[in-house]
Amino acid sequence: MNKPILRLAIPNIISNLSVPLLGVVDTALVGHLDEVYYLGALAVGGMIFNFLFWGFGFLRMGTTGLTAHQYGAENRSEMILILGRVQLVALGLGLLILLLKEPIAALSFWIIDSSREVEIYSLVYYDIRIFTAPAVLALYGLKGWFLGMQNAKYPMVITIFHNLLNIVLNIFFIHVMGMDVEGVAWGTLISTWIALIFAIYLFFRKYGNLLHHYIPKDFLETSELVKFFTVNRDIFIRTLCLIFTFSFFTVQSAAQGDLVLAANTILLQLWMVASYGIDGFAYSAESLVGRFMGGRQPEKLKKAVLYTMGWGLGLGLFGSLVYGLFGTQIVGIFTHQEDVIELASVVLFWTVLAPLVASASYIWDGVFIGATATAPMRNTMMLATALVFLPVYYLGTHFIGIHGLWLAMVSFMLARGVALTYYAPRYILKREAGKG
């Protein structure tokens, strides 16, 4: 079982780590500009797009689970129909975001309490990057479909190509053209559309023959559409709760001043690096669990769950050790501002805990997505947000100040992992493969 897990996980880890690498480079580029509010603007602008785009992460996650089931069942017609459905939804949502460009900006900056300088430069960033929306959502669907087809190589190649191009363009716009956050936005816009064209090319190169199995009359088949939208609805609600916690974290950081916002932005980047690495095994779980469910192979299903969880926890422990030993030095890579480094070092302890504490929740997400058992994911996320994250934040900040914000994040991740572990025997391990 380790071989298929690693065959899927290693490309996913490489692919995933290139995503926060882009964030690391952007943060480092902007963090070394003259003013600290540039870093705050990047954080606020990034938060807005996290809220927009993460919310539609179901276009990747739901597609992986559904496609993997059909792959296991060797249903070629339904494989290609799933891709068609998700791309139609992606196009519609992308165009809707562009139509609502002004109201989204107005609402976002009404909610976020930041300095005037941060708001001005965040809006510059927003007005350019918003035009990536259709391409970003289409890429979600394509990557999810490739993973469901047990192909982790193509998402890796696409993501690395996309992020390396983005980094090159960002360096060019900032250091050659003399731009600030505007340069980061232009680099993201251009690289995203080029990456989509590249992904479409890869699809036709390997899977173009599947178009012969496309049956137009089945595109709107009622039972499959109901399943498609039910799975995606649950993942959408689950993801909104996750976005809320991270956005709430950023909003509360901004309310405490540009210095706190800058320090917390850097530490969140370290969280992202760890989570994207562990998610490589979560994506492996998505692909294998869906495949073994669709192929009615319960023993392989249980092994896939056990082994991916072991790998995820191991990588989480490694991440905690790295941050514990070298955390302060890593923070120094992001910025030369001594006051930002000093403040980040004060709360670094929570970032050291994060990879190990959160790793179980990341792997369980992959398992439940692959099984298309999305209702317990939705419910546990809602409960962890309302009954753990918010109460711990308000109580924690009252008694321990800035540490309360970080305690709320760690408690939130721990609660998710515990709750999904409780649900797993009923929804995954004792569930008959091939059902649901």
Low-confidence winner among 112-116, 316-320, 326-330, 379-383 (lowest mean pLDDT)? 112-116
Task: Return d(Cα 179, Cα 94) in angstroms, integer.
Answer: 27
Query: Mean pLDDT across the stretch 19-26?
Result: 63
Low-confidence winner among 109-123, 174-188, 263-277 (lowest mean pLDDT)? 109-123
Going by C-alpha positions, the residue among 423, 149, 146, 433 that lies closest to residue 300 is: 433
Query: Mean pLDDT across the stretch 24-48?
Result: 70
Q: Which distant-in-sequence residues (6+ apart) come within 8 Å of 138 by Cβ?
A: 87, 90, 91, 94, 196, 199
**pLDDT score of 279 more than 80:** yes
Task: Return d(Cα 131, Cα 134) in angstroms, integer.
Answer: 7
Q: Which SS3 state, helix, strand or coil, does residue 219 take?
A: coil
pLDDT band at 114 (very low <50, low <70, confident <90, very high): low
Going by C-alpha positions, the residue among 397, 161, 156, 174 that lies closest to residue 280 is: 156
> What is the tens place of the pLDDT at every residue in 202-235?
999 999 888 888 888 777 777 777 877 888 889 8
Task: Return d(Cα 331, Cα 194) in angstroms, integer.
Answer: 32
Distances (CA, A) of 408 to 266, 268, 344: 18, 14, 17
Q: What percent of the chain stands above pLDDT 90?
A: 37
**pLDDT score of 380 more than 90:** yes
pLDDT at position 433 is 42
Task: Return d(Cα 21, Cα 26) in angstroms, integer.
Answer: 8
The DSSP output letter for 393 is: H
Task: Return d(Cα 376, Cα 71) in angstroms, integer.
Answer: 24
Mean pLDDT of the chain: 86
Task: Return d(Cα 100, Cα 52) in angstroms, integer.
Answer: 11
Query: Mean pLDDT across the stretch 124-136?
Result: 91
> What is the tens place of the pLDDT at every residue in 306-323?
999 999 999 999 999 999
CB 269 within 8 A of CB 23: yes
CB 118 within 8 A of CB 259: no
> What is the tens place of the pLDDT at every residue in 388-431?
999 999 999 888 888 889 999 999 999 999 999 999 888 887 65
Distances (CA, A) of 110 to 48, 129, 282, 393: 12, 19, 36, 22
Reading the block at residue 249, the tokens are 């974290």
pLDDT at position 432 is 47
Decide: residue 147, CB within 10 A, 0-12 exposed, 13-18 middle, 19+ buried: buried
Q: Give pTM, 2 decimals.
A: 0.78
**pLDDT score of 20 more than 60:** no
Q: What percent of the chain stands above pLDDT 70?
A: 93
